[in-house]
Amino acid sequence: MTQIKLNKASLSLEQKKLKNFQKYLPSLELKRKKLLTERSLVERQIASIKSKESELKEKINNDLPMAADHLQAIKKLIHIQAINIQEENIVGVRLPVFKSIEFNIADYSYLNSPHWLEHLIHLLSELIETSLEAKVLASRSQLLEKSLQTVTQRRNLFEKVLIPNARNHIRLIQIFLADNERAAVVRSKIAKKKRQIS
């Protein structure tokens, strides 16, 4: 524990500190609640996107079983041309947001390829987009978790350490000043009696 000065200036300083701590605590709590809400939303989005991803895989396996042997060769026809990931600021935390993806499909002979190839390319493109979106959401979730941990630590620091310490310092200074004031009154009464006696 740091040594505090027991005077009126230090009392005033401690009272200002306490006032500031109490002023910042509600904003930290509000930020924490907003981050919790956002984390909950991201978790639901991740569950939804994982479900969509498994549905797409199942659809490819069930609807196009004949493509299983050619899947790797067909994936080589799909090239990612551009990915659009932007940032969003939520209570001071910069989070990635998946916007879009553009594919470049390599040329292939429509007449010499099976009739299901175009449908499979579309499903695989959708699967790639979904898995990329899941990765961005996972990154978003990690950033939210990290900032939520930081905000919770700060809130606990204010709530459990700084505010109680400031209150304790104020109490100690007030007791000391009150004791000094009483001692001064007693000394003045004793001095007054000594003057009256002499």
Question: 40-78, pLDDT tens digit by residue?
Answer: 999 999 999 999 999 999 998 898 888 878 788 888 889
User: Vertex 30, ends 139 and 154: CA angle to 5°?
Assistant: 75
Residue 181 lies in a domain: no
CATH number of the CATH domain containing 23: 1.10.287.3240
Summarised one tens digit per residue, pLDDT across range 12-43 is: 999 999 999 999 999 999 999 999 999 999 99
Looking at the domain assignment, is residue 31 inside a domain?
yes
Residue 19 has a pLDDT of: 97
What residue has token string 């499903």? Answer: 123
The pTM is what?
Answer: 0.81
In a domain, 185, yes or no: no
Q: Note the pLDDT of residue 2.
A: 67
For residue 82, what are the β-bridge partners? 102
Kindly state whether residue 73 falls inside one of the protein's structural domains. Answer: yes
Cβ neighbours of residue 169 closer than 8 Å, sequence gap 6 or more: 4, 10, 14
pLDDT at 88: 96
Q: Rounded to whole angstroms, how far apart are CA atoms 170 and 167? A: 5
Task: Indicate if the pLDDT at residue 117 is higher than 80.
Answer: yes
Look at the chain and report how many structural domains it folds into: 1
pLDDT recorded at residue 16: 97
The answer to whether position 36 is within a domain reads yes
Is it the case that residue 86 has pLDDT exceeding 90?
Answer: yes
Q: Let me know if residue 184 belongs to a domain.
A: no
Q: With respect to residue 23, please indicate whether it lies within any of the assigned structural domains.
A: yes
* Inside any domain, residue 127: yes
The parent domain of residue 155 ranges over: 8-176
For the residues 160-172, what does the mean pLDDT come to?
96
- What does the pLDDT look like over 172-188, one tens digit per residue? 999 999 999 999 899 99
